[in-house]
Amino acid sequence: MFPRVILKGTLIKKSQQKKRTSPCNYKERFFVLDTQDLKYSEHRPGRKPLLKGCIELSRIQCVESVFSELPIPCNYKYPFQVFHSNYYLYIFAPDNDCRQRWVRALKEETKRNSLVAKYHPNFWMDGKWRCCQQAAKLAAGCQAYDPMGCASKKPLPQLPAPEMGLHDAEEGTVIALQDYTPLKDDNLPLQKDQEYTLINSCHRDWWAVRDDKGNTGFVPSTYVTEKSGNNFQRFKWYNKNITRGGAEDLLMKQGKEGAFMMRDSRQAGVYTVSVFTKAPGSNGEKNPRVKHYQIRQAETGEARFYLAEKYLFSTIPELIHYHQHNAAGLITRLRHPVSQDGGSSQDIADPLKDQWEVDPGELILGRELGRGQFGLVLEGRWRDKKVAVKTMREEGMSDEEFKEEARVMMRLSHSKLVQLYGVRTQCSPMWLVFEFMDNGCLSDYLRARKGHLSQDTMLEMCLDVSEGMAYLETSNFIHRDLAARNCLVSKDNEVKISDFGMTRFVLDDQYTSSQCSKFPIKWSAPEVIRYYKFSSKSDVWSFGVLMWEVYNEGRLPYENHSNIEVVESLTKGLRLLKPRLAPDAIHMLMEWCWKEKPEDRPSFALLLHELASLSDP
Ligand code: ADP
């Protein structure tokens, strides 16, 4: 009798780490559970999947979720374990539902096996079990194993009653929308989808929360959302009792491009986003006006809410947050939240606002490092750290928006991004204080080492950038100007991404219009050149060009061609040629990044895994 397939899908598998130094041990695999085995295979674009492993179900002794306080270093954040033949296989699912489905199905199929009595709820790492500190990998577990049940998160605390106002609802529950690594001592780390008790939400940007171990600290308010689905009162952008006409009056009075609010629609349970714009409409209308977009819900799927097709979110605050940074189909980005009782939220004093402001007394400025798009870049020292200070000429940039966005950029924190430590906005010119990168920009670094770069080094550089970009992708943040010149190299030769999102603040037309000389046409996807449509997939195109730069040791793409010639050859379907040093597999990834249609290009998560599999011995 043929085995019957029970469950299949893409998950990430942590390799058994045979070598401690193996560089990346998380791989995307296609898993199939049938009535006999758990099999996993490698997806190879354009080729047959390659079977990589097969575990007989009769050998499985325990299947259970793993709960860990550690940040999960791959894009799927929901781990579970399969213990078989004295091996622990760690598998990561994209969401909790998916994890529960796999754990439940595997338990069902293995419940009659000879099972363990106890298991380890946390990871084996660095030579010990993180749950019980035992140092033998095969030491008996520390928690009773329930072959029928599904270990799940603890029950929720009682939710605040819906009629509770802002002040008596202080102790609600929030859920983390994404991981957060603290930037300051009084911050608390967040793990995506974990629940936290809300202690204080008086400040707009920073809420105090408590985790399930009783630790308290501040977290960015945009990183969490309230458990009770439609209690939006805390958000500045929500106006409960306002009519369409009232919203229009208020927004017109503000008169700021992108002034917006969310309000209740006439239809119960439906919400509308109203936004002010002066941008010309498709029918040529030029008058300042308010546009209204109803928040729609897809029929199925976990991510359901959307304003413009294709950009789906699990919660409304997530959706608003995304559109605060990306117009993505709207007439303009949602720039300034407006509320009935407070005007524009930017006018409201924020006691924590200053926490990003760098105290000039703490900063020592040194020699000039270079000259950038916005002004001088200086070496500096700040709080015992070597830093790079970018001074920003205000006449070159859009100031108000920048101040707002700098806060978002500071919350982005990843080892492969050049960290922004703080800003000084209360002076002119403004300063941005960045992590110092000893080896300067990637394009110069490549050129200086021409002829001496090993295959491993070049692959490692692409891996570094894809890792940072995969993080930006999951943070819904679009770089818009990814190129070797916008990456920097650390003392340890690690490549990190810099200047993310900065092009939005350049006011120089030569730079921002695709018709003009400074626009980075040679790194831009066709839809960016044609319609100025940026997305993570347009970043993927640029990443393909960056890989080309790496494998050409810093050569400029389309060296002796004008922008017009480049556009013409792209239109004909022509692409950059295979670099002499690039192996076929790398060239194939470049070509994949340069697919005409954005949806045909891989995600950064997938690119990261493809590159990692090339680096594995
Ligand atoms: P922009 O992107 O505004 O044009 P850049 O980021 O290219 O400016 O900065 C100009 C130069 O300053 C770079 O080529 C590099 O040599 C130096 N630089 C910029 N940021 C750093 C940093 N974080 N650490 C060290 N040097 C830096």
Give residues with Cβ within 8 angstroms of 375, minimum separation 6: 390, 391, 392, 393, 396, 429
* DSSP-derived 3-state class of residue 558: coil
**What DSSP designation does 438 have?**
T
For 172-226, CATH number out of 3.40.50.300, 3.40.50.1980, 2.30.30.40, 3.20.20.70 equals: 2.30.30.40
Residue nearest to atom 5 of ligand 1 (CA): 372
Q: What is the 3-state secondary structure (H, E, C) of 41-62?
A: EECCCCCCCEEEEEEEHHHEEE
CA 475 to ligand 1 center in whole angstroms: 24
CATH numeric code, 5-144: 2.30.29.30
* CB-based contact 337:236 (threshold 8 Å): yes
Distance CA(217)–CA(191), nearest Å, equals 14
CA 336 – CA 464 distance, rounded (Å): 35
Q: What is the pTM of this model?
A: 0.51
Extents of the domains making up the chain: 5-144, 172-226, 238-340, 351-435, 442-615
Does residue 481 carry a catalytic annotation?
Answer: yes
Of 393, 485, 412, nearest to 447 by C-alpha is: 485
Q: What DSSP string describes 237-303? A: TEESS--HHHHHHHHHHH--TTEEEEEE-SSTT-EEEEEEE-S--TT---S-EEEEEEPEE-SSSS-
Residue to mutate (ligand 1; options 367, 368, 369, 486; most atoms within 8 A of CB): 369
Enumerate residues 6+ apart whose C-beta is below 8 A from 285.
Answer: none
**At what angle are helices 536-551 and 604-615 packed, to 10 degrees?**
30
Residue nearest to atom 23 of ligand 1 (CA): 436
Question: Burial level of 159, CB count in 10 A (0-12/13-18/19+)?
Answer: middle
Indicate if ligand 1 lies below 6 Å from the C-beta of 418: yes
The pLDDT tens digits for 64-118 are 988 876 777 777 888 999 999 888 899 999 887 788 889 989 998 998 888 888 8
Which residue did the predictor score with more confidence, 325 or 87?
A: 87
Range 570-591 average pLDDT:
95
Query: In CATH, what class is 238-340?
Result: alpha beta
Element spanning 8, H or E: strand 5-14
Q: What is the pLDDT of residue 348?
A: 31
pLDDT the model gives residue 515: 53
- Taking Cα atoms as reference points, which of 394, 412, 406, 409 lies closest to residue 471? 412
Per-residue pLDDT tens over the stretch 222-252: 677 766 556 676 677 888 888 899 999 999 9
Determine what percent of the chain falls in helix, strand and coil, rounding each to the nearest 5: 25, 25, 45
In terms of average pLDDT, the best of 1-15, 241-255, 319-333, 458-472 is 458-472
Q: At 266, is the secondary structure helix, strand, or coil?
A: coil
pLDDT of 534: 82
Beta strand segments in 23-160, E: 26-34, 37-42, 50-56, 60-65, 78-84, 87-93, 118-119, 124-125, 128-129, 143-144
- Say whether domain 442-615 belongs to CATH 3.40.50.300: no
Contact 306, 295 (CB under 8 A): yes
Nearest to 434 by CA among 461, 465, 464, 413: 413
Tell me if 370 CB under 6 Å of ligand 1: yes
Residue with tokens 């338990």: 107
315 backbone dihedrals φ, ψ, rounded to 5°: -135, 160
Inform me whether the pLDDT recorded for 181 exceeds 80: no
Which of the following is catalytic: 211, 481, 499, 539?
481
Helix (H, G, I), strand (E, B) or coil at 505: helix
Q: How many CB atoms lie within 10 A of CB 195?
A: 18
Could you give phi then psi for residue 352, rounded to 5 degrees?
-95, 0
Q: Is 45 exposed, middle or buried (0-12, 13-18, 19+ CB in 10 A)?
A: exposed
Q: Is the CB of 489 under 6 A from ligand 1?
A: no
| Domain 351-435 fold | Phosphorylase Kinase; domain 1 (3.30.200)
- Cβ(440) to ligand 1 under 6 A? yes
Kindly state if the Cβ of 441 falls inside 6 Å of ligand 1.
Answer: yes
- The gap between the terminal CA atoms of the chain, to the nearest Å, is 38
Under 8 Å between Cβ of 321 and 337: no
